[in-house]
Amino acid sequence: MATDQIKALEERLKTASDDAINRLAAVTTIDDLRSLQSEVLGKKGSVGSMKSELGRLDSVDAKKEAGAMLNTVTEQLEAAFNTRRDLLEDVAFAQQVAKERLDLTEHLSVARRGHSHLVTQATRRLEDVFTGLGFQIAEGPEVESDFYNFEALNMPKSHPARSMWDTMFVESGEPGSVLLRTHTSPVQIRVMETWKPPIYAIMPGRVFRRDTPDATHMPVFHQIECLVIDRGITFADLAGTIESFTKAFFGGDFTSRLRPSYFPFTEPSAEFDIRRPDGTWIELGGCGMVHPNVLRAGGLDPEEWTGFAFGFGIDRMAKERHGIDDIREMYTNDLRFLRQF
């Protein structure tokens, strides 16, 4: 009798347990797992409710045997539920991580943009200021002839002033006849030859001198030349133009001064300095009234036309403006340096 009862119980237990295992395998959420667990192992569950039936068994031995059987199956089911729960928790965590994931990698798909070199920036600003004052921009070649660089600028061959510029010559034609321009002044002649006066021109560009690089010199640097040709131009026009340029470029609290000097292509000649608000001076460049011989070389009649010219270094201005100690820094192509400007 007792064996039949146990057999029947064992059968039902196996059915309930198999059923529970099958359903457990299909469970995909922790909530579903929890309700399945109480449906199976809870007091009224398919397996849990069998405990209450033990009392109805006939013999003590049968109760013991059935009880042990029930415990074993209950433990196995609990273990199966725990394993499934662990798995579902891992999956849920992985899903949450995937959802909350932040991409902190750098955005390399956006092209990194460069910018103009600081000398180019200074040139553009100078051009802006001068075009604002009514000037037009002109350019000339970097490889020049002796004629434009010296001769037409009132420096015939063997003129001692030629040694003011340490010239780099190009091996072409007559020795010494082709060179890298030592200043932007030859563009004055080219403009006079091709434009009709009145002329209000600025001429930026690269110039070359046989110089050893140091903190304030480079063999290749940049100048900007200014040329005005009109009727009745005086030295006061020159001084006034330099002063308005100074204020427009550096600011209203800067002023300029002229000091007597010598250039073969201007008469009288001067050097001009800019005074900072703190009272210190920056030497900027040379200037003067265009020499009659230069007007003639440019095809203009000095009886009819008068003019002034000035020229100065752009690199030095950029150096001044940004407080750079060593001009060579500007040409080492070190991005850590260049990106600051």
What are residue 136's DSSP bridge partners? 201
Paired tokens of 277: 């608000």
Q: Which is nearer to ligand PHE, 183 or 222 (CB)?
A: 183
C-beta closer to ligand PHE: residue 119 or 309 = 309
8 exposed, middle or buried (CB, 10 Å; 0-12, 13-18, 19+)? exposed
Minimal distance, residue 222 CB to ligand PHE, in Å = 11
Complex with ligand PHE: residue 74 or 167, whichever CB lies closer: 167
Report, in Å, the least distance between residue 149 CB and ligand PHE. 10
Residue 308 contacts residue 290 (beta carbons within 8 Å): yes
- Using DSSP's 3-state secondary structure scheme, residue 82 falls into helix
- Closest CB 143 distance from ligand PHE, rounded Å: 17
CB of 227 to ligand PHE, least distance (A): 8
CB 235 within 8 A of CB 289: yes
CB of 266 or CB of 306, closer to ligand PHE: 266
Q: Quick one: 81 or 310, whose CB is closer to ligand PHE?
A: 310
Q: How far is the CB of 326 from ligand PHE (least distance, A)?
A: 22
Which sign does the torsion angle of CA 33, 35, 38, 39 carry?
Answer: negative
- What is the rounded distance in angstroms from the CA atom of residue 128 to the CA atom of residue 162? 33
Helices 30-41 and 60-100: crossing angle in degrees, nearest 10, is 170
Alpha helices in 27-59 (DSSP H): 30-41
CB of 230 to ligand PHE, least distance (A): 16
* C-beta of 46 vs 154, nearer to ligand PHE: 154
Q: Which residues bind ligand PHE (CB under 6 A)?
A: 183, 185, 225, 263, 266, 285-288, 309-311
> In the structure, how many helices (H) and strands (E) does the chain have?
10, 10
